[in-house]
Amino acid sequence: MNVLTISKIKDGTVIDHIPSGKALEVLRILGIRRGSRERVSMAMNVESKKMKRKDIVKVEGKFISEEELNRISLIAPDATINIIENFEIRRKFRVRIPERVEGLLRCPNGNCISNDGKEPVTSAFRIEKSENLVFAVCMYCGKKIYEIEEYLV
């Protein structure tokens, strides 16, 4: 059975194949919160051909930045971005996990130099992938982050 859970959009961005339950985090990354004016629809825990269950986010009139894409890739490494113009898919691409990110994650290690308020140090992490697990390694202290969404700035 093929059920259309949320309607198609005219112009904007569809972020598809988000891991189940992560749609709210994607909305947060896109800066969509209480009081936002964008027309947004989302579906959580819907059927998917490629995954058991997935989330989808659709934002009308939204242009997604490189930095937002990087953040999204860390929590939704298999997400597909669909750029919609006049109801047609203009562009479809997978997010790409960057090799390193600067200033996007906070190091969990309180003694790390990147957490020392006195030093003007921007956090820097190497992103690694093993199987379908994505984790980040602090380039200053070596601390590994497995629950990436908890440390996204």
**Residue ranges that bind Zn ion, judged by CB under 5 A:** 107, 109, 112, 138, 140-141, 143
| Residues in 102-141 at the binding interface with ligand CTP, rule: CB under 6 A | none
Q: Is 56 in the site for ligand CTP (CB under 6 A)?
A: yes
Q: Could you give the 3-state DSSP secondary structure of residue 66?
A: helix
Residues 6+ apart with CB under 8 A from 24: none
Both tokens of 19, joined, read 């891991």
For ligand CTP, the closer of residues 17 and 71 by Cβ is 17
CA angle centred on 116, ends 140 and 122, rounded to 5° = 55
Least separation in angstroms between residue 64's CB and ligand CTP is 14
- Chosen from Zn ion, ligand CTP, none, partner binding at 8 (C-beta under 5 to 8 Å by type): ligand CTP
Least separation in angstroms between residue 152's CB and Zn ion is 15
CA angle centred on 29, ends 28 and 33, rounded to 5° = 30
What whole-number distance in Å separates Cα of residue 115 and Cα of residue 95? Answer: 29
- Contact residues: ligand CTP, CB under 6 A: 8-9, 14, 16, 56, 58, 80, 82, 84, 87, 89
